[in-house]
Structure 1
Amino acid sequence: MKLLLDFFPVAIFFAVYHYTKDMILATAILIPATLVQVGIIWFKTRKIEKMHVVTLVLIIVMGGATVLLQDKTFIQWKPTVVNWLFAAAFLGSYFIGSKPLIQRMLGGQIELTQPLWNKLNAYWSIFFIAMGAVNIFVFSYFSEEAWVNFKLFGMLGLTLVFIIAQGIWLTRHIKTDQLEQD
């Protein structure tokens, strides 16, 4: 259910765009859809994750600029900005706090050596940087419709491939006694 809720605004944007072929209208509908998403999350959990706050703010700011200025470039840059902010958070975690961000997120579920946590954090940083760059490439060199399709299917597909690859990498490095306990 959480995954469906996370993709609700993107799915609405995609549906409106494919029905109307109007990115400005799709963006105008994306803004309240994201507000509804965050409202539902808050209502159900009484808390909102930082990722949702960052995404909401960027959709309001960049989506608002898209609608007000009638310029789709702002909304096309949003995935890049989000991904690069996540990359900055992962990279910044080497300097702020005692553990890399990925270790703070997953440290309660798996046990790795510190060098492996650092590598995993670096892989996530590289992934987010690359996703931002690929987004720029797609909206710069492909049609508007191709970018909309990439935003939903391409980014989701690349993320799933990365998570599966990360899972395979992790299974090679998780301590054997941890696997036997589970």
Structure 2
Amino acid sequence: MKSVLAKLATDFLSTIVFLVVYLVTDNVLLATGVAIAGAIAQAIRARVRGEALGFMTWASLALAIVLGGATLLTNDPRFVLAKPAIAHFAIGAIMLKRGWMLRYMPARVTEVIPEYVTLAGYAWALLMFALGAGTIAIASTGDIKLWATYVTVVAAGAKIAAFAIQYVVIRFVITNRLRAAARA
């Protein structure tokens, strides 16, 4: 779990940097410039260390440069605020692949209820699309404090709640299925 969180933090580093610098300085242009520089430095550091850059890192770098550049050129923060939405849409699209979640589940789950895991994978895709749409809606207002609340509290909270619900439901279904099999 720790390595997954570290990977996510790496993939969304420029968004995190933007948010922190903005909250400290209340300056959108400075936060955008620092986020772009941070994304470029992150890619350079990985290349110097000989680390392979994953798709999400390249995508994050490209989005930081393109959307951050548009923000700097137009002085309109809505461009950079849309970046997390694009990531949510991309992740949601990947999650539409049938059975993508099976490899993340314990063997017992994949043996007993693979159809529920597939449904859960589609539910996660739907959640990602909903969060992306919400991010776009909030970003279009240009209210950075509202956006910051949404991406840190609402989006993160929705994912934590979805994970907890998924855990409880899968545990409940497996227990019932195994009890029914034992009785039969």
Q: Considering the TM-score relative to the shorter chain, is it more than 0.5?
A: yes
Q: CA deviation at 1:127?
A: 0.7
**For 1:97-112, what aligned pairs fall within 5 Å after superposition?**
100-103=99-102, 105-107=103-105, 110-112=109-111
Task: Determine which of 19, 23, 26 is the counterpart of 1:21.
Answer: 26
Q: Is the 8 A contact 2:78 2:140 kept in 1?
A: no
The alignment of Structure 1 onto Structure 2 pairs a total of residues equal to: 170
- Asked whether the 8 Å contact 1:10–1:152 carries over to 2, the reply is no
- CA separation in 2, counterparts of 1:165 and 1:40? 38
Q: How does 1:70-89 map onto structure 2 within 5 Å? A: 70-89=75-94
2:64 to 38, 59, 62: 59
Aligned-pair Cα RMSD in Å: 3.0
Deviation readout 1:88-117 (Å, 9 max, x if unpaired) = 1222x24xxxxx3223x4156652544223
How many angstroms does 1:29 deviate by?
0.9
Unaligned stretches of 5+ residues in structure 1: 95-99, 177-182
Contact 1:14 1:152 in 2 (8 A): no
- Name the TM-score, length of structure 1 as normaliser: 0.74
Deviation at 1:63?
Answer: 1.6
SS of the residue corresponding to residue 111 of structure 1 reads: helix
Which shifted more, 80-89 or 5-14?
A: 5-14
CA contact (8 A) 1:84 1:132 kept: yes
Larger Rg: 2
TM score, norm. by length of structure 2: 0.74
Q: What does 1:3-152 align with in structure 2 at a 5 Å threshold?
A: 3=5, 5-6=9-10, 8-39=13-44, 46-91=51-96, 93-94=97-98, 100-103=99-102, 105-107=103-105, 110-112=109-111, 113-141=113-141, 143-152=143-152
1:45 deviation in Å?
Answer: 8.2
User: Structure 1: how far apart are the matches of 2:30 and 2:141?
Assistant: 23
